[in-house]
Amino acid sequence: MRRVAVLFSRGPWRGVDTAAGIDVALALLAFDFDLQVGFIGAGVELLVATDDGDERAQRLRMVAALSHHGASRLLASRDCLQARGLVPHAIVIEPVGRSDFAAWLTEAEHVISF
């Protein structure tokens, strides 16, 4: 099975990129790829939401759906989370260091970045 990494590196204000990335990830899952999803840079901001059900909460539910539908791994740059003072909200995200994140990218057969 081919391993594909979908990388989110842009913040939530780039909503079109986020929606397109989630759509691509879900399509890859439909075709039985080993999908792993990473968040780095401003992309880690996609992992937090407010409790009032706004657009950020819906986007976070879409990210959580990736795991539910079969993504084998969801990870985020620990450095980027710490720099922004963020803690992933309500979904299981594996925080990894800079060198582990780089190794994760090199192990993928294909990397799609949003």
Q: Which residues of 69-98 are buried (b: 16+ CB within 10 A; e: fewer)?
A: eebebbbbbbbbbeeeeeebeebebebbee
* End-to-end Cα separation, the chain, in angstroms: 23
- pTM comes to 0.89
Place of tokens 């299981």: 92
Provide the strand spans (E) within the chain: 3-8, 34-39, 73-77, 94-96, 110-113
pLDDT, tens only, 79-99: 999 999 998 876 789 999 989
If one compares 48 and 111, the residue with the highest pLDDT of the two is: 111
| 22, 58 Cβ separation under 8 angstroms | no
Question: What digits encode the pLDDT tens for the residues 11-50?
Answer: 877 667 888 999 999 999 999 899 999 999 999 988 887 6
Provide the CATH number for the domain around residue 57. 3.40.1260.10
Count the Cβ atoms, other than its own, within 10 Å of residue 99: 8
Question: Where do we find the tokens 């009032």?
Answer: 52
Count: domains in the chain: 1
Query: Can you give the residue range of the structural domain that contains 81?
Result: 3-113
pLDDT of residue 14: 64
Q: Does position 106 have pLDDT exceeding 70, yes or no?
A: yes
